[in-house]
Amino acid sequence: MAFGNLAVNVLADPELCQGIKDFSNWPTIPQLYINGQLVGGSDIMTDMYQKGELQKMLGA
């Protein structure tokens, strides 16, 4: 199932916020998914961006 680009403010709903943490087994938000796979949180995204890895994953 493909959704394209989807942004959801899970912080607006405490149940949804906890649900996404439980689903991913990842304790923090925001979470970045690429092609349905969890990449990580903001610290990982920042590190990947600084190394140029995130751009490669996104085809940019």
Q: What is residue 3's predicted lDDT score, i.e. its pLDDT?
A: 59
Q: What is residue 39's predicted lDDT score, i.e. its pLDDT?
A: 93
Domain harbouring 20, CATH code: 3.40.30.10
Establish if 15 belongs to a structural domain. Answer: yes
Establish if 53 belongs to a structural domain. Answer: yes
Q: What's the pLDDT band for 2 if we cut at 50, 70, 90? A: low
Q: How many domains does the chain have?
A: 1
Q: What is residue 35's predicted lDDT score, i.e. its pLDDT?
A: 85
Establish if 1 belongs to a structural domain. Answer: no
Q: Residue 34 in contact with residue 43, Cβ under 8 Å? A: no
Distance CA 60, CA 16 (A): 30
Instruction: Taking the CA atoms of 21, 24, 25 and 29 in sequence, report the sign of the dihedral they define.
Output: negative
pLDDT digits (tens, 9 = 90+) for 8-60: 788 899 999 999 999 999 999 889 888 889 999 999 999 999 999 999 998 87
Q: What is residue 41's predicted lDDT score, i.e. its pLDDT?
A: 92
What SS3 class is residue 9? coil
Establish if 38 belongs to a structural domain. Answer: yes
